[in-house]
Amino acid sequence: MAYLFTSESVSEGHPDKVADQISDALLDNFLAWDPYSKVACETLVTTGQVVLAGEVKTSTYLDVQKIARDVITKIGYTKSDYMFEANSCGVFSAIHEQSDDINRGVDRGKLEEQGAGDQGMMFGFASNETENYMPLALDLSHKILQELAAFRRENNEITYLRPDAKSQVTIEYTDDHKPVRIDAIVVSTQHDEFDADEQKMLAKIKKDIIEIVIPRLVAKLDPEIQKLFTDNIKYHINPTGKFVIGGPHGDTGLTGRKIIVDTYGGKGAHGGGAFSGKDPSKVDRSAAYAARHMAKNIVAAGIADQVLVQVSYAIGVVEPTSLFIDTYGTSKVNLTDGEIAEKLKSVFDLRPGLIEKHLKLRNPIYSETAAYGHMGRESKVVSKEFVTPAGEKKTVDVELFTWEKLDKLDELKKVFF
C-alpha cells in the first residue's frame, strides 16, 4: 500500500537558524585566525537580545559583538519594525575557556592519536531518489525556502517578505519506496504589515507562492522531479493567517534545535547531537559528516539504493566503538550488512583526527552549513575574508561541504565488485 512521508525546513531568518548562523560565524572566525581553536559556542536570540555562551580555547581575540551583528544584517533583520535589528539589539557574551578535563583526552600531538571529543553515536544517510542523494521531501523543503529568500532579496516581484519562514513537503511513495507525487506543500512566511484588506493580502501571498515561487523552483529541477508537481497538490500557505510578528521577536531561538532540518528530514536516524558552533574535534559534527560521506559514496558506487551508517565513540578514545550499516534490503552485493561494514573499514578511516584531515575540517567552512541543511550541498572552493578587531585582514580559500565529494568511488568498486 502506498504511503506518505513528510519533511520540513526553516529559513535563515527562523530564530533557531539565526542562532545557528551566529554560532558558526564565531567558529569560522576562531578557526580563520587559529586553526587549532577548540570551540563550543551556543547562542540565544530573543526580542532585541543576543546571548553568546560556551567554551573556547584559542590564541586569538575576536569582536564577537560585531560578528553577531554582521550575521544578523546578512540575514536581513535590518528594520526596527522587526523588534530584532542588527545595529540596535543587545549582544551579551558569556564565553569562557574550555575545561582542561575535556581537552586532555583530545589533544595528543599526532592527528592519528587524537581522541574523540565526546561519546555518542552519529548517523549518515543517503538515497538515490535525488541527484544529490538526499531524501526528496527534505530536499524540496530546503529549495522552496531558498527560492523564497531569493525573491525577498530581489524585492521585485514580491516585495512584502520578511526573513522568517517555514516549509513542509509531503510525498506519496509506492510500496517499493519510489516517489510518485507530491501530496501537500506547506509554506508559512513572515510578511510586512498589511495596509490593504487582510483577506485580500492573504490571498495574494498564497497566489504569489503558488504561481510565482513554486514555478520558478520547478523550472530548476530534474525533469523526473518536475513530474511530481501535479495540479492536485494541496497547498497550505500561511494557514493560520497573518504572520507579521516573527523571527526572534516571535519566538526565542537557540543553537542546535533544528537537528532534523540540518540532516535528513526524519529519514534514517539521528544520534541527537547538534552541529553548529562546534569545532571538528567534537565528533557530534565531524563524525556525522564522515558518516554522510560514507553513505553517499556507498550509494553512488552502486552498492545499495539507500543506506544508513552509524558510527559511535567514547570520549578520549581514538578508534570508534562501533560501525553499523543498514541497506534496508537494497544491497546490490552478495554480502550481509555486517560484512559490508567490515569491508568499509579498509576504505574509510574513522579516527577523529583523520576525519578532520581528510575532510579538511580545520578550515573556516561552517557559516555556509548553518542554514538550508548540512547535507546534500554543493562542494566548491570559495574565498572568505576575515578581519580582527585591530583591523588585520586575511583572505582564505576554503573548500566547502567536502563530505559531499564522491572521492571514494574507485576504492569502493575495487573492494565490492
Q: In angstroms, rounded to a whole number, what is the distance separating the alpha carbons of residues 130 and 132?
A: 5
Q: Residue 98: its pLDDT value, please?
A: 76
User: Does 268 have pLDDT greater than 90?
Assistant: yes
Binding-site annotation, residues for ATP: 14, 164-166, 242-243, 251, 257-258, 274, 278
pLDDT at 109: 66
End-to-end alpha carbon distance in the chain: 34
Domain assignment present for 62: no
pLDDT > 90? residue 195: no
Query: Based on the domain organization, do 208 and 298 belong to the same domain?
Result: no
* Residue 376 covered by a domain: yes
Q: What mean pLDDT comes out for the span 198-215?
A: 96
Query: Looking at the predicted structure, is the pLDDT value of residue 105 above 70?
Result: no
Q: Is residue 338 part of a domain?
A: yes
- 48 found inside a domain: no
Structurally, the chain folds into a number of domains equal to 2
pLDDT digits (tens, 9 = 90+) for 128-146: 999 999 999 999 999 999 9
| Residue 30 lies inside a defined structural domain of this protein | no
pLDDT confidence bin for 117, thresholds 50/70/90 = confident
**Residue stretches of the annotated binding site for K(+):** 42
Are residues 389 and 292 part of one domain? yes
Give the pLDDT score at 329: 96
| Final residue before a domain boundary, out of 221, 246, 271 | 246
Annotated binding residues for Mg(2+): 16
Per-residue pLDDT of 341-358, as tens digits, reads 999 999 999 999 999 999
Do 152 and 232 lie in one domain? The reply is: yes
pLDDT digit string, tens, across residues 323-343: 999 999 999 999 999 999 999
Does 199 share its domain with 322? no
Q: Which of 228, 246, 264 delimits the end of a domain?
A: 246
Q: Which residues are annotated as a binding site?
A: 14, 16, 42, 55, 98, 164-166, 242-243, 251, 257-258, 274, 278, 282
> Do 410 and 299 reside in the same domain of the chain?
yes
What's the pTM value of the predicted model, to 2 decimals?
0.97
Same-domain check for residues 162 and 235: yes
Give residue 385's domain range: 120-127+283-416
CATH code of the domain covering residue 209 = 3.30.300.10
Local confidence band at 261 (pLDDT 50, 70, 90 cut-offs): very high
User: Residue 372 pLDDT > 70, yes or no?
Assistant: yes
Q: Is there a domain that residue 175 lies in?
A: yes
Residues 376-417 have pLDDT tens digits of: 999 999 999 999 999 999 999 999 999 999 999 999 999 999
Residue 350 lies in a domain: yes
Same domain (yes/no): 327, 398: yes
Q: Give domain status of residue 73, yes or no.
A: no
